[in-house]
């Protein structure tokens, strides 16, 4: 028991010693912390690191007293509690002072940075000034919600500091802009009829590029620069014939000038090669400003983000679309695709565009052949319509020589005749289209070959449709026009037949269309001529039993003159077989109408018979002269019947009977028995002899 009491007494004594030591340390800490606070309120500002040391020391003492309280009695614990409460009070005061010191430290740091910024602006050291602005921004415009930040934002000086920061940022940007404007100069002069743009870019690369870098780091808005380049440089270069000069001889600046007419009626388009060259020259002149402003951004890329879409679209629509060839020869010579690929590569190298994202040029290249086909079709059809409008009577003779000059193969047989020269132009075009795919790069693609072959029916159908409309009045009123148009259609249809092996689409229907169109037009003319002759013969009156008079001869001669006119305009135009088929048909109608009128007479006196014989004789004498060879008149079906009718009119009753020869004579070839019987009754009086002969004609 004594041992236990002795042990307890020893432990109590040790605790007292510990408590006294801690209380002494607390009092000493209190004295030093109090002095620190007073010193730092008087001698502001303080060293923030010392303040943190005091706070850490105080927190360590609190932890030590709290641990001791857990292990000692109530009496000692009360003493420590009193000391601990006092210590906590001093720590709170110290923390408040620490926050104030930190806030003061930030404000003084900001003020110091503003002074340094003024010094850098005075010496025009813009890049270091940008770094200071970034530091100021992090101190002033912090987005965190720490206790210091919240207290700083409630300070009366905060708004003034923030305004001062923005003023300094604007001043720096204005200074950079002014320096940039001295190093890169743009000017526009407008005259009554012309516009002049001048660009000057400093050759001092170090100063220029550092200025540009700083300007864009300062979040420079390039809209004004982009608009100038787009509106005053790129748009005129793309859409208007401009004069561009680029000078590098000046010691201080590279210079470029652009001048062009501003007359509203100017409709000339610059060639695409010139446009691409001028755009490259423009970027060459501005190349010095194309600095890297961040890890992935270049100045031309930033400019491109603002204008490249509009620029490339206008380049395609207003320039490159006009560069699409209109003819196959132009297509073969064209370097549009390679030129655009080279140009796209150059724009990519300067970071103005990214070919993987900006597809305007690559889409044009990939659609180039399709665009050419459309343009070619449009051009061809316009050319065909222009050809169709030409005078059909501007003719040429179809010969072996003038055909082989056009056709790839000599195997083309067509009867000698006349066709319009315009038809040979169409044939020439067809030949080039037919054989063009064999020389094109895409000839191996059946779709390409088929496409060009489909143009052939379009051309010929256009001809068959448009020519009759355009020449409608002439085809109706001028026999030669319809004849040559007939030849044109037959000539073109023959070409289709000969070249059907190449796979011309719907060639059978095309041949039918051409032939039916030519035949329809010519048959309409033939019908018109038939009507003219029949209209003349409507007035033929030979019913007078005493004399037919002079009028029948006039009408007959009028018909012969009309036939002679047709001979003159058809004989050397139509193929020989077509001429004789048509002309003989008209002659036959003429002769048959004369024969019909005579066969209708009930009573023919000797005088009238002689006069009718003279009428027929006029026809028989004039008729052979309407043919190249006189004996060709025998091709007229009713010619021999007309000759026999003339013989009957002047023959005796017996001669007629002999020519009939009981149905076996020469008259039976062209006359029916009833016709002969009728003529005998009209020519001869009713006698037993006439009755006897009539009985023999059955």
CATH number at residue 543: 1.10.357.150
Overall domain count for the chain: 4
- What value, to the nearest 5°, has the Cα angle with vertex 393 and ends 388 and 399? 95
| Cα-Cα-Cα-Cα dihedral sign, residues 523, 527, 530, 536 | negative
Are 554 and 510 found together in one domain? no
Provide the percentage of residues in the chain whose pLDDT is more than 90: 43
Provide the percentage of residues in the chain whose pLDDT is more than 70: 71
Is 658 domain-assigned? yes
pLDDT, average across residues 355-366 = 92
Is 593 domain-assigned? yes
CA distance 425 to 463: 12
Are 167 and 200 found together in one domain? no
pLDDT, average across residues 343-362 = 93
- For residue 4, is pLDDT > 60? no
Question: How does DSSP assign 642-681, residue by residue?
Answer: HHHHHHHHHS-HHHHHHHHGGGTSGGGGT--HHHHHHHHH
- Under a CB-based contact definition with an 8 Å cutoff, are residues 94 and 56 in contact? no
- For residue 68, is pLDDT > 80? no
Are 320 and 209 found together in one domain? yes
- Under a CB-based contact definition with an 8 Å cutoff, are residues 167 and 173 in contact? no
Are 555 and 692 found together in one domain? yes
Is 82 domain-assigned? no
Residue-wise over 462-488: b if at least 16 C-beta within 10 A, else e?
Answer: bbbebbbeebeeebeebbbbbbbbbbb
pLDDT, average across residues 500-513 = 88
Is 315 domain-assigned? yes
Q: What is the pLDDT of residue 442?
A: 46
Q: What is the pLDDT of residue 7?
A: 46
* Domain end call among 484, 504, 519: 519
- For residue 649, is pLDDT > 80? yes
Is 89 domain-assigned? no
- Under a CB-based contact definition with an 8 Å cutoff, are residues 328 and 376 in contact? yes
- For residue 573, is pLDDT > 90? yes
pLDDT, average across residues 648-659 = 90
Structure tokens at 428: 């020439």
Is 290 domain-assigned? yes
| Cα-Cα-Cα-Cα dihedral sign, residues 514, 487, 475, 532 | negative
At residue 335 the predicted structure's pLDDT band, cuts being 50, 70 and 90, is: very high
Q: What is the pLDDT of residue 500?
A: 86
Q: What is the pLDDT of residue 178?
A: 78
CA distance 690 to 164: 144
* Domain end call among 160, 183, 206: 183
pLDDT tens profile 254-294 = 999 999 988 765 568 899 999 999 999 999 999 999 998 88
CA distance 612 to 600: 13
At residue 36 the predicted structure's pLDDT band, cuts being 50, 70 and 90, is: low
Higher pLDDT, 210 or 412: 210
- For residue 49, is pLDDT > 60? no
User: Which domain does 599 fall in, by range?
Assistant: 525-696
Are 426 and 286 found together in one domain? no
Q: What is the pLDDT of residue 453?
A: 81
Q: What is the pLDDT of residue 545?
A: 81
Are 220 and 337 found together in one domain? yes
Are 687 and 562 found together in one domain? yes
Beta bridge pairs of residue 196: 189, 259
> What Rg, from alpha-carbon coordinates, does the chain have?
57
Higher pLDDT, 118 or 381: 381
Q: How many angstroms from the chain centroid is the CA of residue 149?
A: 60
- For residue 694, is pLDDT > 80? yes
Are 399 and 358 found together in one domain? no
Are 576 and 606 found together in one domain? yes
Is 11 domain-assigned? no
- What value, to the nearest 5°, has the Cα angle with vertex 263 and ends 262 and 267? 100
Is 56 domain-assigned? no
Q: What is the pLDDT of residue 127?
A: 59
Q: What is the pLDDT of residue 72?
A: 54
CA distance 502 to 556: 54
* Domain end call among 519, 550, 575: 519
Are 234 and 292 found together in one domain? yes
At residue 332 the predicted structure's pLDDT band, cuts being 50, 70 and 90, is: confident
- The chain-wide mean pLDDT, for the chain, equals 81
Lowest mean pLDDT among 1-10, 84-93, 158-167: 1-10
Are 535 and 632 found together in one domain? yes
Are 206 and 169 found together in one domain? no
């Amino acid at each position: 028991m004594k041992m236990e009491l002795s042990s307890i007494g020893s432990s109590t004594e040790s605790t007292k010693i510990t408590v006294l030591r801690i209380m002494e340390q607390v009092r000493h800490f209190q004295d030093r912390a109090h002095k620190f606070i007073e010193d730092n309120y008087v001698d502001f500002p303080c060293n923030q690191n010392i303040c943190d040391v005091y706070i850490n020391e105080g927190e360590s003492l609190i932890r030590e007293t709290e641990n001791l309280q857990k292990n000692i009695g109530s009496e000692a614990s009360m003493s420590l509690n009193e000391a601990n409460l006092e210590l906590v009070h001093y720590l709170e005061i110290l923390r408040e002072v620490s926050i104030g010191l930190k806030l003061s430290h930030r404000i003084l740091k900001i003020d110091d940075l503003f002074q340094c910024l003024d010094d850098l602006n005075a010496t025009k050291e813009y890049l270091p000034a940008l770094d200071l602005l970034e530091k100021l921004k992090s101190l002033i415009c912090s987005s965190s919600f720490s206790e210091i930040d919240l207290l700083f934002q409630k300070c009366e000086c905060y708004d003034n500091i923030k305004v001062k920061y923005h003023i300094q940022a604007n001043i720096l940007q204005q200074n950079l802009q002014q320096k940039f404007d001295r190093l890169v100069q743009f000017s526009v002069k407008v005259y009554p009829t012309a516009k002049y743009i001048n660009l000057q870019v400093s050759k001092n690369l170090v100063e220029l590029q550092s200025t540009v870098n700083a300007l864009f780091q300062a979040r420079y808005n390039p809209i004004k620069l982009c608009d100038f380049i787009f509106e005053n440089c790129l748009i005129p270069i793309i859409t208007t014939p401009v004069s561009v000069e680029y000078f590098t001889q000046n010691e201080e600046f590279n210079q470029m000038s652009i001048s062009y007419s501003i007359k509203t009626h100017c409709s000339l388009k610059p060639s695409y090669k010139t446009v691409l060259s001028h755009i490259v020259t423009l970027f060459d002149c501005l190349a010095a400003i194309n600095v890297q402003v961040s890890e992935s951004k270049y100045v031309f890329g930033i400019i491109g983000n603002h204008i490249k879409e509009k620029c490339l679209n206008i380049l395609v629509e207003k320039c490159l679309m006009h560069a699409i060839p209109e003819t196959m020869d132009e297509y073969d010579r064209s370097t549009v695709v390679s030129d655009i690929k080279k140009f796209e590569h150059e724009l990519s190298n300067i970071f103005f565009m990214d070919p993987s994202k900006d597809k305007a040029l690559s889409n044009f290249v990939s659609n180039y052949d399709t665009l050419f086909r459309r343009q070619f079709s449009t051009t061809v059809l316009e050319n065909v319509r222009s050809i169709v409008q030409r005078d059909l009577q501007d003719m040429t003779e179809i010969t072996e020589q003038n055909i082989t000059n056009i056709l790839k193969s000599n195997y083309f047989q067509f009867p000698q005749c006349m066709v319009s020269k315009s038809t040979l132009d169409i044939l020439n075009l067809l030949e080039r289209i037919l054989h063009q795919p064999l020389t094109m790069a895409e000839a191996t693609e059946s779709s390409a070959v088929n496409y060009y072959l489909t143009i052939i029916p379009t051309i010929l159908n256009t001809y068959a449709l448009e020519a009759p409309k355009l020449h409608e009045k002439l085809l109706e009123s001028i026999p030669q026009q319809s004849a040559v148009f007939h030849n044109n259609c037959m000539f073109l249809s023959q070409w289709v037949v000969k070249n059907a092996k190449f796979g011309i689409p719907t060639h059978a229907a095309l041949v039918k269309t051409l032939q039916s169109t030519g035949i329809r037009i010519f048959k309409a003319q033939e019908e018109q001529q038939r009507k003219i002759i029949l209209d003349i013969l409507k007035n033929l009156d030979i019913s007078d039993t005493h004399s037919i008079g002079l009028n029948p001869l006039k009408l007959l001669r009028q018909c012969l003159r009309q036939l002679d006119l047709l001979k003159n305009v058809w004989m050397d135009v139509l193929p020989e077989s077509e001429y004789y088929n048509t002309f003989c048909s008209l002659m036959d109608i003429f002769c048959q109408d004369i024969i019909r009128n005579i066969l209708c007479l009930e009573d023919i006196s000797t005088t009238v018979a002689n006069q009718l014989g003279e009428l027929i004789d006029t026809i028989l004498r004039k008729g052979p002269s309407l043919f190249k060879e006189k004996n060709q008149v025998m091709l007229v079906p009713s010619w021999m019947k007309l000759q026999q009718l003339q013989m009957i009119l002047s023959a005796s009753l017996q001669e007629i009977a002999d020519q009939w020869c009981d149905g076996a004579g020469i008259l039976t070839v062209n006359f029916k028995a009833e016709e002969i019987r009728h003529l005998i009754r009209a020519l001869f009086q009713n006698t037993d002899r006439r009755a006897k002969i009539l009985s023999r004609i059955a």
